[in-house]
Amino acid sequence: MTLLRHLAVAIIVGALLAVASVTLNSFRDFQMAEVATYVTAVAGLTILIGLSGQISIGHGAFMAIGAYAAALILMHLNWPLVAVLAASAAIAAVAGLVLGVAAARLRGPYLAGITLLLAVALPSLATRFAGTFGGDQGLGVNVTTPAFLGPSFPLTRWQAWVACAAALITLVLLANLARSRVGRSWRAVRDDETAAALAGLNVAWLRILAFAVSAACAGLAGALLGITTTLVSPGSFTVTLSIALLTGAVLGGLGTLPGAVWGSLVIVLVPTYVTDVATSHGLSSSVAANIPVAAYGVVLIVVMLVFPAGIQGAVRRLLGPAAPSAGGPIGSLRRRVPARDNPEEGAS
């Protein structure tokens, strides 16, 4: 039943987005695809951090794995797009599984360190093995609009459709997973590992699984990034990208899927919007150039000071006290600290 309800919501939102993409210009379609790409990655990351309690500041590396997988498969095997996306997610999931095995032994800053290491080191493989991965120039991703949409169908709209569809499917799957036995077990492990183990949960396996799921989302997002920019190159997967994903997750509200949407909207749209405003007010270029950076910082600081639970936390507060504070799929996704103060959590 939950699955059906989530599906219904996704279909309605999907229809709205499809209508939007037709009425908007190409650049807005591109931004839509960009937001959807970030949503896919941030959703996976927010589940990893908020639900399973493990941190990763190197998720850009999994995006790189997914992106290169997609580019190579399209180039050499020319699979259909759906298969390419699924394969990219699967390959990234395997990588996540491997890292998860190491991660399951590490905590806090040590885990952050190893994931950061991955983000820094992995893209340089592309230049080390330039024959396969195309070096700094990267690999072209050859995407065309399918024939049934007609010859004049804009490529950016098709890219937006693919990205939005993938993001919605990811959100539906994650929402259900979070509500399932697995999601409840993750929360139990996050809140108290010893108690979870005493209750018969396989703590190590659950932590590894969270990494794999999260990496699969990032891999899918990487493939989407390749498709929307028609290029996969090491320059696209800098540490800055990994930090941006983390920022999106924290800003939106850790552990909440709608938060992933808010966070992605902010990291994609705020810089562009502020640049437009800054340049249209005739400021000198040295001032105008620095305003987006400053605005981004101000947004970060304000959100964290005023709404420590992220934008989704603020939205929930604005929607009124009538809403129950815990239990249910979204309420319980938010991490509460300390968890022992909320004995009802996980009992939904």
Partner 1 sequence: MNRSPRLRLAGVTAAAAALSLLAAACGSSGSGGKSGSGSSNAASAPGITKTQILIGSHQPLTGVAAPGYSEIAPASNAYFQYVNQHGGVYGRKIVYKYLDDGYDPAKTVSVVHQLVLQSSVYAIFDGLGTPTHLSVVKFLNAQKVPDVFVASGCVCWNLPSTEPDTFGWQLDYVREGKILGAYIKQHFPHTKIGFFYQNDEFGQDGVKGLSAEIPASQVVSKQSYVPTNINIGPQVAALKAAGAQLVVSFSVPAFTALLRLNGLKLNYSPQFVVSSVGSDPITLAGLLQAFAKQGGAKVNGIALTQGIITDAYEPTLGQTTNSWIALFKRIHDTYIPKLPFDGNVLYGESVAYTFVQAMLKAGRNPTRASLVSAIQGGLSQGPALAPYAYSASSHAGMTGALIGVIKTGVVVPQTPVMTTDTTPTGAVSPYTGSQPPAPASGMP
Phi-psi region of 157 (alpha: psi -120 to 50; beta: other; left: phi over 0): alpha
Q: Does 240 bind partner 1 (CB under 8 A)?
A: yes
Nearer to partner 1, 5 or 107 (CB): 5
Per CB under 8 A, the segment of 66-74, 192-200, 207-215, 283-291 that binds partner 1 is: 283-291
Per CB under 8 A, the segment of 109-117, 184-192, 199-207, 253-261 that binds partner 1 is: 253-261
**Structure tokens belonging to residue 233:** 């190159």
Compute how many other C-beta atoms are within 10 angstroms of the C-beta atom of residue 71: 27
d(CA 162, CA 216) in angstroms, rounded, equals 17
Of 47, 165, 189, 241, which one interacts with partner 1 (CB under 8 A)? 241
Shortest reach from residue 289's CB to partner 1, in Å: 3
Q: Does 26 bind partner 1 (CB under 8 A)?
A: yes
Q: What are φ and ψ of residue 111, in 5° steps?
A: -65, -45
d(CA 249, CA 60) in angstroms, rounded, equals 13
Site for partner 1 in 258-277 (CB under 8 A): 258, 261-262, 265, 268-269, 271-273, 275
Of 117, 149, 195, 293, which one interacts with partner 1 (CB under 8 A)? 293
Site for partner 1 in 52-91 (CB under 8 A): none
Nearer to partner 1, 84 or 196 (CB): 84
Pair 214, 48: CB distance under 8 Å: yes
Q: Does 235 bind partner 1 (CB under 8 A)?
A: yes
Q: Does 229 bind partner 1 (CB under 8 A)?
A: yes
Nearer to partner 1, 47 or 175 (CB): 175
How many residues would you count in the chain? 348
Using CB under 8 A as the criterion, what x/- string covers residues 173-212 for binding partner 1? --x-------------------------------------
Site for partner 1 in 297-326 (CB under 8 A): 312, 315-316, 319, 322-324
Shortest reach from residue 30's CB to partner 1, in Å: 5
Of 129, 195, 199, 230, which one interacts with partner 1 (CB under 8 A)? 230
d(CA 273, CA 338) in angstroms, rounded, equals 38
Q: Does 34 bind partner 1 (CB under 8 A)?
A: yes
d(CA 164, CA 149) in angstroms, rounded, equals 17
d(CA 164, CA 205) in angstroms, rounded, equals 31
Site for partner 1 in 121-180 (CB under 8 A): 127, 135-138, 140, 155-156, 171, 175
**Structure tokens belonging to residue 241:** 């990208």
Shortest reach from residue 233's CB to partner 1, in Å: 6
- Assign 140 to helix, strand or coil: strand
**Structure tokens belonging to residue 26:** 């190409």
Shortest reach from residue 269's CB to partner 1, in Å: 5
Q: Does 347 bind partner 1 (CB under 8 A)?
A: no
Total site size for partner 1, rule CB under 8 A: 72
What DSSP element (H or E) covers 232?
A: strand 231-232
Query: What CA–CA distances, in Å, run from 258 to 82, 170, 227?
Result: 25, 12, 24
Nearer to partner 1, 96 or 123 (CB): 123
**Structure tokens belonging to residue 39:** 């949503």
Residues 6+ apart with CB under 8 A from 86: none
Pair 159, 143: CB distance under 8 Å: yes
d(CA 194, CA 199) in angstroms, rounded, equals 9
**Structure tokens belonging to residue 242:** 């990994």
Q: Does 289 bind partner 1 (CB under 8 A)?
A: yes
Of 11, 22, 27, 121, which one interacts with partner 1 (CB under 8 A)? 27
